[in-house]
Copies of this chain bind each other. A is one copy, B any other.
Amino acid sequence: MLDLGSRSYPIHIGKGLLDRSDLLRSAIKGRSAVIVSNETVAPFYLHRIRPHLQDLRLGEVILADGEQHKTLATVDAIYTALLEGQFDRNATLIALGGGVIGDITGFAAATYQRGIDFIQVPTTLLSQVDSSVGGKTGVNHPLGKNMIGAFHQPRAVIIDTDTLSTLPDRELSAGIAEVIKYGLLGDPDFFSWLENNMEALLDREPDALAFAIRRSCQDKADIVAADEREQGRRALLNLGHTFGHAIETGLGYGCWLHGEAVACGMLMAARLSVDLGWLEPLAVERIESLVRRAGLPTEPPAALGAARLRALMSVDKKVIDGALRLVLLRGIGQAVVTADYDSSLLDRMLERALAA
């Protein structure tokens, strides 16, 4: 349960939950629903949830797969489908897919007729541990990632761990990046657990996956409940993201997976923290080792160039009145949000990293 007063909602995690019609139905208030999914996910799972909704007026919108479709134009296509199907403000959208589907569908729900209900049914590890919980929705703009969006909480999050069986290895690793993030930013015991259980996660051992998802969602829910609108502590969740978004934007959406960029971004944040004298070099070695074992990149793409990466970072949402706030580390499990650092050390770190 994510506790947000009247906007609280349950987060269900377990095996075979897609077959549980009660979880889905208890989160639907009206008499109509529209499933939004993509061409990759729909063939696997759409037929699993459709039977639960037979007595509702049901619509389906199947989008092309990929971050490059996370645009305002795709949201507009959803509006059109909803209007053509005469779905009103009591309709519920169901996001069935990864983070891109969840973000797009959530934003469509936030802005269709000034806000309708939606449910998250995330089918990738990344979306299960990150984007499906917390109510951040949105799409990309050609000039910056996630620059268009709204806070809009789902009515429920339903995580069926079985869906990970069809997830490509590369996407599993990308999800593990965000799992590592929770350990790194505020949960040192979890970080140690990951050091001891990385192979089990990569082997998709059900108990290990379930534990990692539950712990990640709990860590995230605690932070979001304390700071829903990111006035303060919630910004810690952006560890690695300012660097990561710049990498994603610079390469063009879809080249690197989000989790890959975040993993690399976390390491860049850690290295800058060492340069600032805030973090022991030994900690970076532990982080780098874990990131590498997870099959994730440890260096940014050199072709991007330090100057371009720096410029891309300066349009980040974490820029407040011109100062670039970063999430940096004082230790493993001890992240801080700050604009109070020597920015020449940031420039130097970028030059070093991108000369590699």
A90 to B141, Cβ gap below 8 A? no
- A114: chain B residues within 8 A (beta carbon): 136, 138, 149-151, 230, 317
Q: Is A4 an interface residue (CB 8 A)?
A: no
Q: Please provide the chain A residues from 87 to 117 with a CB less than 8 Å away from any CB of chain B in the complex.
A: 88-90, 107, 110-115
B143 to A84, Cβ gap below 8 A? yes
- A321: chain B residues within 8 A (beta carbon): 30-32, 88, 90
Q: Please provide the chain A residues from 15 to 29 with a CB less than 8 Å away from any CB of chain B in the complex.
A: none
Q: Please provide the chain A residues from 114 to 157 with a CB less than 8 Å away from any CB of chain B in the complex.
A: 114-115, 136, 138, 141-144, 147-151
Q: Quick one: given A79-B141, A83-B143, A314-B86, are A148 and B111 in contact (CB under 8 Å)?
A: yes
Q: Is A283 an interface residue (CB 8 A)?
A: no
Closest to A29 in B: B321
Q: Is A322 an interface residue (CB 8 A)?
A: yes
CB of A134, distance to nearest CB on chain B (Å): 11
Q: Is A307 an interface residue (CB 8 A)?
A: no
| Complex-state Cα separation, A203 to B151, whole angstroms | 46
CB of A255, distance to nearest CB on chain B (Å): 21
- A317: chain B residues within 8 A (beta carbon): 88-89, 113-114
CB of A266, distance to nearest CB on chain B (Å): 22
B148 to A320, Cβ gap below 8 A? no
| Complex-state Cα separation, A31 to B83, whole angstroms | 40
- A322: chain B residues within 8 A (beta carbon): 31, 88
- A53: chain B residues within 8 A (beta carbon): none
CB of A285, distance to nearest CB on chain B (Å): 35
Q: Is A189 an interface residue (CB 8 A)?
A: no
- A32: chain B residues within 8 A (beta carbon): 321
CB of A224, distance to nearest CB on chain B (Å): 13
- A147: chain B residues within 8 A (beta carbon): 79, 83, 112-113
B72 to A76, Cβ gap below 8 A? yes
B90 to A148, Cβ gap below 8 A? no
Q: Quick one: given A79-B147, A113-B147, A114-B150, are A320 and B141 in contact (CB under 8 Å)?
A: no
- A83: chain B residues within 8 A (beta carbon): 141, 143-144, 147, 315
Complex A-B, nearest 9 residue pairs according to Cβ-Cβ distance, in ascending order = A83-B143, A88-B319, A114-B149, A31-B321, A113-B317, A90-B320, A90-B321, A30-B321, A111-B150
Q: Beyond the given A80-B143, A88-B319, A113-B317, please list 5 additional residue pairs across the A-B interface where CB-CB is below 8 A.
A: A83-B315, A86-B314, A90-B320, A111-B111, A114-B136
